[in-house]
């Protein structure tokens, strides 16, 4: 596979992923961003934990969708993430849930 074919393949995968996101965003209440992934979910709980003087975050989500073009299944019943990096949680407003029609 040439570099050009690989780039075309990845572009198509990203477009497919965006279209899937657009189709499913309306069934979720929260957007969760970690240093490694972007999630949509209906319930989220973030807890700061301390162990041996280090602070990390434990993020638990239920009914989640994962933005990852390399995963064969992006829906998950529950997800738990442990991270030392920032976690951003936003509740979607009704306006944000309705993506632009294309």
For each of the chain's 102 residues, which pLDDT tens digit applies? 788 988 888 899 899 899 999 999 999 999 999 999 999 999 999 999 999 999 999 999 999 999 998 888 899 999 999 999 999 999 998 765 555 565
Residue 98: the pLDDT is: 58
Say which residue the tokens 């709980």 belong to: 45
For the record, the structure tokens of 91 come out as 């509740």
Contact 83, 54 (CB under 8 A): no
Q: How far apart are CA 75 and CA 67, in angstroms?
A: 10
Q: Which residues are bridge partners to 40 per DSSP? A: 31, 65
């Amino acid at each position: 596979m040439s570099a050009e074919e690989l780039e075309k393949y990845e572009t198509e995968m990203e477009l497919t992923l965006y279209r899937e996101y657009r189709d499913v965003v309306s069934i979720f209440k929260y957007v969760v961003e970690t240093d490694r992934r972007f999630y949509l979910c209906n319930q989220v709980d973030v807890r700061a934990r301390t162990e041996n003087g280090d602070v990390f975050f434990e993020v638990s989500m239920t009914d989640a969708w994962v933005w990852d073009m390399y995963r064969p299944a992006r829906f998950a019943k529950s997800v738990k993430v442990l991270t030392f990096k920032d976690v951003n949680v936003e509740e979607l407003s009704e306006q944000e849930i309705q993506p632009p029609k294309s």
